[in-house]
């Protein structure tokens, strides 16, 4: 059974544990440092007393003033049978008092030693107070850490809470992009990704409605034609030739319906292709291959296909089938709408966004007031179902690319179909690397 984890709870626990560990380590080091410093001072003082007695037969030197600390001293001369003791220093508690004792050699021949004892009860009490104060400070510090952890976790989780709240309240009628400028800098990439997803959902909902309505309309019209033709044919007895003509018209209408159904099936295949694993490919090589494939088709229709590719190589991680679908649609439309003895240009160039791919024709241009990416939208009087650009737009959205159609602005008639690949998932191959050469045709 899976256990749900709370990011905020884990953050608070980890911050408290790490802060408590740091406080305990720092406090322990501080206390032991203070204790050692005090005991070192006491030890040096007893050692000084012992040297004064040995050298001057007095606890303090003649040039030193009498201090009250000397009153708490007890000095004895003891004799030990065992081998000589260089120095012994120990602490002992007796009757509620703490004593610090130093054993120091006095007369080696007589095996006599100085036993200097000092009452350090007040010092011990002072150390206990310091320890209590440190303990109280640690508790206060721990409380502050808990308050800080709760506050900082609430602040960090606030953007996620806001995003969750906005996304949970969305439906197909209330889908609005997030305001990136209101998000913290760390959440801007997430906001951009969510907005891209929202845009795709909006387009999907919009175009799916149009697709269903358009499909019903496109299929209803040929069915009505077939039915009407059959009714007219059955009104009276006709010759075999007339029946054959009627069947030919019916078959032609059925073929048109099959084209519509095939294009709808292509939409399903494309949605499956969006789930394919992206692979690293050289986009320029794909463009060259597509250009060579369509060059013969253009020449067969007495049209010229020109090519211009910059840079010489451009690696990108993407679904190749989706890129092929976009470029193929661009070239098919360009050849379809370009008159004979005219030219089509396929070119690529690098810009600040990434790689810009353009297909330029010399056709009649487009009506900028019509959404040509919507399903069943046709331009001009050329045959077609009107799903090619819809599929191209869906493929571009899946690639995270930008797709655009616009009229030429260089004085010539025609259309420019462009695709911009994001450089974040791409890298440029050096001109002289891997045998690539700058190629213009």
pLDDT of residue 129: 92
CA angle, 108 then 112 then 118, to 5°: 125
**Is it the case that residue 111 has pLDDT exceeding 90?**
no
Domain 189-273 identical in fold to domain 279-435? no
Token pair for 239: 């010759």
User: DSSP labels for 43-54?
Assistant: HHHHHHHHHHHH
Strand 415-422, strand 304-309: pairing: unpaired
Question: Under CATH, which architecture does the 279-435 domain have?
Answer: 2-Layer Sandwich (3.30)
**Is it the case that residue 2 has pLDDT exceeding 50?**
no
> What residues are paired with 360 via a beta bridge?
345, 416
Q: Which CATH number fits domain 189-273: 1.10.287.130, 1.10.4160.10, 2.40.30.10, 3.40.605.10?
A: 1.10.287.130
The arithmetic mean of pLDDT across residues 206-226, rounded, is 69
Domain ranges of the chain: 7-143, 189-273, 279-435
> 180-212 burial, b if ≥16 CB within 10 A, otherwise e?
eeebeeebeebbeebeeebeeeebeeebeebbe
pLDDT of residue 11: 80
Percent of the chain with pLDDT over 90: 7
Give me the count of residues in the chain: 441
Give the 3-state secondary structure of residue 344: strand
pLDDT of residue 433: 42
pLDDT band, very low/low/confident/very high, at 276 (cuts 50, 70, 90):
low
Please name the residue that has the structure tokens 């050096």: 430
pLDDT band, very low/low/confident/very high, at 271 (cuts 50, 70, 90):
low
Per-chain mean pLDDT for the chain? 77
Count other Cβ atoms within 10 Å, centred on residue 391.
21
CA angle, 159 then 204 then 191, to 5°: 15
Rounded CA-CA distance 13/324 in Å is: 52
Of the listed ranges 163-167, 250-254, 353-357, the least confidently predicted one is 163-167
Long-range CB pairs of 273-277 (<8 Å, 24+ gap) are 273/319, 273/321, 273/322, 273/325, 273/395, 273/398, 274/319, 274/322, 274/394, 274/395, 274/398, 276/319, 276/321, 277/319
**Segment 23-75, tens digit of pLDDT:** 889 999 999 999 999 989 888 888 888 888 877 666 555 455 445 455 677 88
Helix residue ranges, H only, 274-319: 283-300
pLDDT band, very low/low/confident/very high, at 381 (cuts 50, 70, 90):
low
**Segment 201-212, tens digit of pLDDT:** 776 676 666 667
Rounded CA-CA distance 434/5 in Å is: 49
More confident residue, 213 or 199: 199
**Is it the case that residue 124 has pLDDT exceeding 80?**
yes
pLDDT band, very low/low/confident/very high, at 223 (cuts 50, 70, 90):
confident
Read off the DSSP letter of residue 85.
-
Strand 279-282, strand 112-119: pairing: unpaired
Question: E strands of 73-206, at which residues?
Answer: 73-79, 88-94, 97-107, 112-119
pLDDT of residue 436: 40
């Amino acid at each position: 059974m899976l256990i749900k984890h709370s990011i905020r709870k884990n953050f608070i626990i980890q911050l408290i544990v790490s802060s408590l560990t740091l406080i305990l380590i720092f406090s322990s080091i501080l206390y032991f440092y203070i204790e050692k410093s005090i005991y070192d001072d006491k030890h040096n003082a007893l050692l000084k007393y012992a040297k004064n007695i040995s050298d001057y037969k007095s606890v303090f030197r003649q040039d030193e003033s009498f201090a009250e600390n000397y009153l708490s001293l007890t000095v004895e001369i003891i004799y030990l049978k065992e081998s000589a003791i260089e120095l012994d220093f120990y602490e002992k508690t007796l009757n509620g008092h703490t004593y610090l004792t130093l054993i120091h050699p006095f007369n080696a021949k007589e095996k006599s030693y100085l036993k200097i004892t000092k009452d350090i009860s007040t010092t011990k009490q002072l150390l206990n107070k310091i320890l209590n104060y440190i303990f109280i400070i640690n508790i206060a510090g721990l409380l502050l850490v808990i308050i800080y952890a709760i506050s900082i976790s609430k602040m960090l989780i606030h953007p996620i809470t806001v995003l969750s709240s906005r996304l949970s309240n969305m439906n197909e009628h209330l889908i609005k992009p997030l305001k990136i400028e209101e998000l913290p800098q760390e959440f801007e990439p997430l906001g951009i990704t969510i907005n891209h997803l929202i845009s795709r959902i909006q387009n999907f909902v919009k175009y799916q409605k149009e697709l269903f309505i358009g499909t019903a309309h496109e299929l209803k019209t040929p069915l009505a034609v077939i039915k009407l033709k059959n009714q007219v044919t059955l009104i009276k007895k006709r010759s075999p030739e007339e029946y054959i003509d009627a069947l030919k018209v019916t078959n032609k209408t059925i073929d048109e319906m099959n084209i519509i159904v095939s294009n709808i099936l292509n939409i399903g295949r494309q949605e499956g292709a969006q789930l394919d694993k992206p692979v690293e490919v050289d986009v320029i090589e794909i463009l060259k291959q597509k250009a060579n494939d369509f060059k013969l088709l253009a020449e067969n229709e007495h049209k010229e296909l020109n090519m211009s590719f910059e840079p010489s190589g451009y690696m990108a991680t993407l679904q190749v089938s989706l890129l092929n679908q976009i470029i193929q649609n661009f070239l098919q439309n360009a050849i379809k709408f370009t008159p004979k003895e005219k030219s089509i240009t396929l070119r690529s160039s690098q810009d600040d966004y990434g790689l810009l791919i353009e297909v330029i024709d010399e056709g009649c241009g487009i009506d900028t007031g019509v959404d040509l990416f919507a399903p069943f939208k046709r331009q001009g009087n050329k045959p077609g179902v009107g799903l090619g650009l819809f599929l191209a737009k869906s493929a571009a959205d899946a690639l995270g690319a930008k797709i655009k159609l616009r009229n030429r602005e260089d004085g010539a008639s025609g259309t420019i179909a462009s695709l911009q690949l994001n450089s974040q998932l791409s890298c440029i191959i050096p001109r002289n690397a891997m045998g690539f050469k700058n190629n213009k045709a």
